[in-house]
Amino acid sequence: MSIANALNNAVSGLTAAARGTEVVSSNLANALTPGYGRRELELSPRVNAGNGGGVQIASVQRIVSNAVLADFRHSSAALGQSSAHHAFFAKLEASIGLPGETGSLTTLMSDLSSALTSAASRPDSEIRLQGVVDAAGDIAGKLRTISDSIQDSRSSADRQIAAQVKSLNDDLSEVARLNQKIIAERANGRDDSSLNDARQAVIDRIAQIVPIRELPRENGRVAIFTAGGLALLDSNKPLSFGFQPTGKLTPEIDESSALLGRLSIDGEIASATQLNQLSGGSLIEQFRIRDEYGPAAQARVDAIARELHDRFADPTVDPSILAGAPGLFTDAGTSLDPSKEQGLAARLRLNANIDPRQGGELWRVRDGVNALAPGEVGNSIIITGLATGMDEARPYASGQAAISSGNLHGLAAAVITETGTSRLRSEARKTHDASLHDSLQGALFADAVDSDREMEMLLQLEKAYAANAKVIQAVNEMLDNILRI
């Protein structure tokens, strides 16, 4: 081997060692950077047309397990879905209250039953009659609070949809931009690893909104499809999503309402098939909270409100009530139209005739809500009839009731049981999804930067650099000796 070849080989070794040091330093600097893919220097023997020798840099590999990354993204979407689902039912359960808890729906039902029983034993006592009014007012207020909580959750979901649609559009456009930059970097022979890191972080954000699959395309660009097969990005221009938030929702704004904001794709209202292709992440789950879970929960509490209205407006118990007229409870001051049950929980009010705060008289609890004059102070027939009506098991008037028949206590308990069951199921699902997400994240971290390993590599590169430098020094001394001869 000639001295020139020896010198060239040593220089190639120095170049490789210097590039390797640069890669290691980049790994160490980004050891705590989320989404950073560890780099490894790929070397190969250099072959020249002549005697050959030395080393050449084949490439800088970005180390990421695509299979684990794909599973991690699917788990991110599943966790976003189950978290939204759990948050809705946890808030709903908290607004209804647990059995035996002060201020819960079942406790307030029991309080009203106890107040009626107490008033029936002393119908002459204004204190006990006031207890009935207060207990009835508390139940009406509780149902309004539950209804407000449901509509607040729906309104929040509506706002979340708008925010996620904006984020989805921005991130898809960013992936398209990074695709073009990666193509340009590769065309110029430059390292595109940093751009790949940035693109991975953006795609990870998309995966929290909808479940996706990333597919490689030519020249380093990628295409993005939903798990359901909808192409979000497979060219230079991604799909464009649109959504106009509804604002504050009310029980009357249901899925069939023209006021409800709809998702559009490239300017067209998304079809049921397209929505199904987007399902599995937090975006479609927010639609379900707004359009399915919320209205269903509202229907359950409306059924309780209707049963309260009807059972306390029974003319056979209170002769002062005309057929179809309201009793102890009213629909915003009037009688309920059965065809307008939707949203009744938000409109349920205490009859002003019995409420002193609204100019009413307490004795009407005893003598009839529409009585014109006080009757016998010891007459407890009406109060006893109201208490019996609460406890009587019979078919419920509403087709939206959680169960088909029973008393008022059983209907309230059924709603709490149904809500608690949904909350527990969603909590179990969320716990499972969070555990899987953390495990896959740990698997990704296994391929991330190991500082100890990088320091060992740095010591090896230092030795290689020193060895090649000694070769150059030896060649230099040989040339000096030759020149002195």
pLDDT digits (tens, 9 = 90+) for 145-174: 999 999 999 999 999 999 999 999 999 999
Chain Cα centroid distance, residue 288 = 11
Q: What is the DSSP string of 245-296?
A: ---S--TT--TT-TTS--EEETTEEPPHHHHHHT-SSHHHHHHHIIIIIHHH
Q: Which residue has the higher pLDDT, 446 or 324?
A: 324
Q: Which of 406, 402, 437 is nearest to 419 (CA)?
A: 402
- Does residue 313 contact residue 329 with C-beta atoms inside 8 Å? yes
Number of helices followed by number of strands (H, E) in the chain:
13, 12
CA distance 82 to 85: 5
Q: pLDDT class for 307, splitting at 50, 70, 90?
A: very high
Q: How many CB atoms are closer than 10 A to CB 373?
A: 7
DSSP, res 58: E
Full-model pTM: 0.85
Retrieve residue 233's tokens: 């990005």
H or E element at residue 387: helix 381-391
Judge contact between 148 and 346, C-beta under 8 A.
Answer: yes
Q: What are phi and psi of 230, to 5 degrees?
A: -80, 125
Beta bridge mates, 42: 59
For 228-254, write each residue's pLDDT tens digit. 999 999 988 999 999 999 989 999 998
Report the distance separating Cα 7 and Cα 475, nearest Å: 7
Is pLDDT above 60 for 50? no
Residue 47 has a CB neighbour count (10 Å cut-off) of 10
Lowest-confidence segment of 52-66, 339-353, 355-369 by average pLDDT: 52-66
What's the confidence (pLDDT) of residue 450? 74
Compute the C-alpha angle 111/381/345, nearest 5°: 40
Q: Which of 33-37, 424-428, 478-482 has the highest mean pLDDT?
A: 424-428
Would you state the pLDDT for residue 213? 94
At 412 the three-state DSSP class reads helix
39: closest CA among 448, 458, 474?
A: 448
User: CA torsion, points 258, 260, 265, 271, in degrees to nearest 10?
Assistant: -70
> Look-up: residue for tokens 């139940």?
139
Model confidence at 48, pLDDT cuts 50, 70, 90, reads: low
In terms of Cβ atoms closer than 10 Å to its own Cβ (0-12, 13-18, 19+), residue 398 is buried
User: Could you give phi then psi for residue 215, rounded to 5 degrees?
Assistant: -120, 135
Three-state DSSP class for residue 473? helix
Residue 418 predicted with pLDDT over 60: yes
